Amino acid sequence: MFNIFKSTPKNYEDLDGSTFKSKFQQAGKAELLDVRTPGEFASGTIAGAKNLDAMSSQFASQLDKLDKDKEYFVFCRSGNRSGSACDLMASKGFKAHNLSGGLGAWPR
């Protein structure tokens, strides 16, 4: 019968703020990706982050322009949008890490 509660394994990592920052700093080829809207991005982000709006209709096609040899450290406000973005990125062959808890979890 159907098991609607069956979960599938994630193909990306959810990381707490300290681990996310540490792994990003240790990664050789890595990029910070802020998947919030341009307005949210303009209100403040992590230094060095690139903005790619996950809510945009062009998000999937913009992903195709990214370098698959890099690791992507993805975040949003709460970690939900970036989790969905990581899921899509992983399905396209990217190595992605989600900042669990979002921007506020980034250590200052």
pLDDT digits (tens, 9 = 90+) for 16-66: 999 999 999 999 999 999 999 999 999 999 999 999 999 999 999 999 999
Would residue 2 count as lying in a domain?
no
pLDDT of the residue at 101: 95
Average pLDDT over residues 4-16: 81
Report if pTM > 0.85. yes
Catalytic residue among 76, 89, 96, 105: 76
Higher pLDDT, 100 or 9: 100
Average pLDDT over residues 56-80: 96
pLDDT of the residue at 1: 53
Residue 86 designated active-site? no
Distance CA 68, CA 52 (A): 16
Would residue 3 count as lying in a domain?
no
Would residue 1 count as lying in a domain?
no
- Structural domain containing residue 66: 13-105
| C-beta separation of 35 from 52 below 8 A | yes
pLDDT of the residue at 9: 74
41: CATH:
3.40.250.10
The tally of domains found in the chain comes to 1
Residue 14 pLDDT more than 70? yes
Average pLDDT over residues 99-106: 96
